[in-house]
Amino acid sequence: MTEIVDHSVTHSTFVLEHTYPVSPERVFAAWSSTAAKEPWFVSLPEGATVDEPLALDFRVGGAERLAVTMADGMSIAYEGRYQDIVPDRRIVATTQMYRDQRPMSVTVATIELTAIADGTRLVLTEQGAYLDGLDEPKWRELGTREQLENLAKHLR
């Protein structure tokens, strides 16, 4: 029997903004090491387990990786590569996610930090190709929004 595979692509861009009551240096530092990023970036649903803990090499050309298994047995792997880093100002990364070892999305994420009177304004723009019906832009936007809210709690 031949497996029917959906070879569709959905393109989407979303922009999220968040204000943090701390300096751009503190917000930037929260992205720059495994120890700083893991507490707010890795938030698993009940029953999920970590197969490969978050690991990152925060430099231009450096990589980031995380792999988990959901309660239903589905595996999700995340891989990123840093394309541009301007300390305390900007991070640009390309990412690819896999579901059960099948590519589910490829994205470019830009994080921009601007000092404002009461802290830092973060603007995250993500442009993505969501593949074969395995991922949807609304799911990614929701998950990214939750991470930025977790970052706010972490920075308090």
Residues 9-20 have a mean pLDDT of 97
Per-residue pLDDT at 12: 97
pTM over 0.75: yes
Summarised one tens digit per residue, pLDDT across range 61-118 is: 999 999 999 999 999 999 999 999 999 999 999 999 999 999 999 999 999 999 999 9
Q: Which fold has domain 9-155?
A: Alpha-D-Glucose-1,6-Bisphosphate; Chain A, domain 4 (3.30.530)
In whole angstroms, give the CA distance from residue 95 to residue 155. 25
Interatomic CA distance for residues 70 and 46, integer angstroms: 8
* 97 token code pair: 């996610």
pLDDT band at 43 (very low <50, low <70, confident <90, very high): confident
Six token digits for residue 115: 């000092």
